[in-house]
Chains A and B, each alone.
Chain A
């Protein structure tokens, strides 16, 4: 049962992934991405990573994608507005062929590498949670405490950076081009 669910979800994740790339409107891309993330979350759950599955939903779907959504709406890009006028295609035709070839190449390499790995069957007990909350917490505040603290600094720096970048300079409001350049 779980196996079948996994393969179905995998196929769905890949399909929605393609949707991200191929959707004309950014809005559709977002929605596809959301779908893909949900599928992945369930796959995590199936594989025994309950906490990760929750984090995936909360952080990715709940926070990051909403952020994307906000920006799209803020810039009013929902229907490709400005962008569509400038270019014939939403795809970069020159890079498209090379890019496709490259992506296929990478994909093939990934597949071959994975198939060559010759794993033993997984030892973990199916269905049992691998990432118990307590165990994860012990790891994070024990062995990885330094990285954890560094991560907090990274977050702080990100916050400062984002404010600095997105803030409108008040002084020379008349010229938006310059403004953007300095901001």
Chain B
């Protein structure tokens, strides 16, 4: 594939913007979590694009993939904890709306 790395980055930016959009406008916390996953994927794509850019024909740059692996790991943890929290929230409020979480009010 001879696509320039910028185009990978364009895609990443687009995905990230969509993730932000969803994060901000959706009320359902589960969807909000999904949007976070989307943003993390955008980040992964950026890492990989950078790694690809810095690889030469002789030596591959492996920092990108390794970071991506860690990101996937963190994403898994985040999803697990996030979903557990959602369950707890649902028990508490009978709702999964983000607006019902306003205990942090100053």
Contact = CB atoms under 8 A, between A and B. Distances in A.
12 contacts: A2-B1, A20-B38, A21-B21, A26-B31, A37-B41, A64-B79, A67-B80, A87-B27, A99-B25, A102-B21, A111-B10, A130-B51
Given A83-B97, A180-B90, A90 B27 contact: yes
Interface in A131-183: 131-132, 135-136, 139-140, 144, 147, 151, 154-155, 158-159, 161-162, 165-166, 176-177, 179-181, 183
A21 B26 CA distance: 7
Interface of B: 1-28, 30-31, 33-35, 37-38, 41, 44-45, 48-49, 51-53, 55-57, 60-62, 65-66, 68-70, 72-77, 79-81, 83-99
A151 B69 CA distance: 11
DSSP class of B's interface residues: helix, strand, loop or mixed? helix
Given A49-B48, A110-B17, A151-B73, A91 B81 contact: no
Nearest to A60: B72
Closest 7 CB pairs of A and B: A110-B13, A99-B24, A180-B91, A107-B17, A180-B92, A103-B21, A114-B9
Contact of A111 (B13, B19, B92, B97): B13
Does more than half of chain A's interface fall in helix, strand or loop, or is it mixed? helix
Interface centre among A13, A17, A51, A86 (most CB of B within 10 A): A17
